[in-house]
């Protein structure tokens, strides 16, 4: 049985002229493997050197690549990343690339059915193109996943209020950062909205089990259905090298703990530790060294 299936972009982050394997769904899959789970990625790469290198990285990192296709018409995705003060990234995400055209044949769906994955993870970015968006909808309609994890992950203009609302309606677990919570609160729930108010509105309107609002170095807020109070889970203080992939590492450790039966607060503590560890090292998937981030 697979534990986690992620859907969306596999790409190369180009930071200071150096290419690093990335894409939030791929990062999440790789970190869940590091956390002791079995993970697969539903994605697409180009029939080019970067695509072959991406497939090699999937194998090296233990991510199941059976449902990652090769597109002969579109190149492997790339993103230009610029780091500002404190290692915070800004992204230029190039369009009309392979992961915009994710398709899953019926034979692959049958194989996935046999694997009975426990958690399905998705975001907004891979829905910018109708081909991938339709494939995502098909997967969500086809499978009765135990958990559906929606990492909203707003990027540039590649999202809409309608896309986010539809994702919230399909999810059991939701993760946003504090800026996203404020922006979406105004769009979806009418007017200025604090992270706490956003999380409460999501739980009130949708069949979501828990909402996590990440706060960067300050940790995260956790709101779990059936528990009256919001809980602030403090962050782990580290010297930030770059924050690329830190949120994906958080998600992986959170899911690993959640699937073992931990309450949302304890799962978030695990997420904070791993996210901080990744932020303290270069690259989205640093080599493990036995320190604080390892779960």
Give the pLDDT confidence score for residue 286 in this predicted structure.
85
Q: Residue 179: which residues within 8 A CB-CB, separation 6 or more?
A: none
Give the pLDDT confidence score for residue 116 in this predicted structure.
86
Give the pLDDT confidence score for residue 175 in this predicted structure.
97
CB 153 within 8 A of CB 122: no
Q: pTM here?
A: 0.92
Give the pLDDT confidence score for residue 242 in this predicted structure.
76
CB 268 within 8 A of CB 212: yes
For 29-69, the pLDDT digits (tens) are 999 999 999 999 999 999 999 999 999 999 999 999 999 99
List of E strands, 153-235: 173-177, 210-214, 220-224, 231-233
- Phi, psi dihedrals of residue 228, rounded to the nearest 5°: -70, -40
Give the pLDDT confidence score for residue 34 in this predicted structure.
95
* Mean pLDDT score of the chain: 91
Q: Which two tokens stand for residue 204?
A: 């009130």
Class of domain 4-279: alpha beta
Q: Which two tokens stand for residue 141?
A: 């309609």
The candidate with the shortest Cα–Cα distance to 270, out of 284, 250, 241, is 250
Give the pLDDT confidence score for residue 295 in this predicted structure.
40
Q: At what angle do helices 195-205 and 178-189 cross, to 10 degrees?
A: 50
Give the pLDDT confidence score for residue 190 in this predicted structure.
79
Give the pLDDT confidence score for residue 86 in this predicted structure.
65
CB 59 within 8 A of CB 65: yes
Q: What is the pLDDT along the chain (295 residues), one digit of tens a residue?
A: 799 999 999 999 887 788 889 999 999 999 999 999 999 999 999 999 999 999 999 999 999 999 999 999 999 999 887 877 766 777 789 999 999 999 998 888 888 888 889 999 999 999 999 999 999 999 999 898 999 999 999 998 999 999 999 999 999 999 999 999 999 988 888 776 788 889 999 999 999 999 999 998 899 999 999 876 789 999 888 888 777 789 999 999 999 999 999 999 999 999 999 999 998 887 778 887 654 444 4
40 exposed, middle or buried (CB, 10 Å; 0-12, 13-18, 19+)?
A: buried
């Amino acid at each position: 049985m697979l534990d986690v299936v992620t859907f969306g972009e596999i790409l190369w982050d180009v930071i200071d002229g150096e290419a690093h394997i990335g894409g939030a769904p791929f990062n999440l899959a790789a970190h869940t493997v590091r956390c002791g789970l079995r993970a697969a990625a539903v994605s697409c790469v180009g029939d080019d050197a970067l695509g072959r290198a991406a497939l090699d990285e999937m194998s090296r990192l233990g991510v199941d690549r059976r449902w990652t296709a090769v597109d002969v018409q579109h190149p492997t995705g790339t993103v230009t990343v610029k780091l500002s003060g404190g290692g915070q990234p800004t992204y230029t995400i190039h369009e009309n690339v392979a992961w915009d055209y994710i398709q899953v044949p019926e034979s692959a769906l049958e194989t996935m059915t046999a694997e009975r994955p426990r958690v399905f993870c998705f975001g907004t970015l891979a829905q910018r193109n109708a081909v991938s968006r339709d494939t995502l909808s098909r997967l969500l309609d086809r499978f009765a996943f135990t958990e559906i994890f929606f990492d909203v992950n707003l990027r540039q203009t590649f999202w809409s209020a309608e896309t986010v609302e539809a994702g919230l309606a399909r999810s059991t677990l939701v993760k946003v950062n504090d800026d996203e919570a404020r922006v979406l609160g105004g769009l979806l729930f009418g007017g200025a909205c604090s992270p706490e108010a956003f999380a409460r509105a999501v739980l009130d309107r949708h069949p979501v089990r828990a909402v996590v609002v990440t706060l960067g170095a300050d940790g995260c807020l956790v709101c779990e259905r059936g528990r009256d109070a919001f809980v602030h889970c403090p962050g782990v203080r580290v010297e930030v090298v770059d924050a690329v992939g830190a949120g994906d590492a958080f998600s992986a450790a959170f899911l690993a703990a959640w699937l073992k039966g931990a309450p949302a607060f304890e799962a978030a503590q695990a997420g904070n530790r791993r996210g901080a560890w990744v932020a303290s090292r270069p690259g989205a998937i640093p080599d493990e060294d036995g320190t604080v981030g390892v779960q």
